[in-house]
Amino acid sequence: MIYAVIAFGYQLTFATSGTLNFGQGEALMLGALVGLTLVGLGVNYWVMIPIVCIFGFAQGALVERVGVRPAIKTRSEFGWIMATIALGIIFKNVAENIWGRDDLRFPSPLPEAPIQVLGANVLPMELLVVFGALGMMILVEIFNRKSIYGKAFVATSNDRDAAGLMGINTGMVITFSYALSSLTAAFAGVLVAPLTLTGATMGAVLGLKAFAVAIIGGLSSGMGVVVGGLILGIAETTTGFYLSTGYKDVPGLVLLLLVLTFKPAGLFGKTAIKKV
**pLDDT reading at 203 higher than 50:** yes
What's the whole-number mean pLDDT along residues 80-94?
A: 93
* Single-letter code of the amino acid located at 92: K
**At the top level of CATH, which class does the domain 1-107+118-275 belong to?**
mainly alpha
Q: Taking the alpha carbons of 149, 153, 158, 164 in that order, is the dihedral positive or negative?
A: positive
Note the pLDDT of residue 226. Answer: 83
**Distance separating alpha carbons of residues 177 and 14, to the nearest angstrom:** 9
Res. 159 pLDDT band, cuts 50 70 90: confident
Number of Cβ within 10 Å of residue 90's Cβ equals 14
Residue 253: its pLDDT value, please?
A: 81
Q: Is the pLDDT of residue 38 over 90?
A: yes
pLDDT tens for 98-143 read 999 899 999 999 988 888 888 888 889 999 998 998 898 888 888 8
- List the chain domain ranges: 1-107+118-275
Backbone angles phi, psi at 38, to 5 degrees: -65, -40
Determine which helix (DSSP H) or strand (DSSP E) holds 105, and give its type and residue range.
strand 104-105
Pairing of β 120-122 and β 115-117? antiparallel
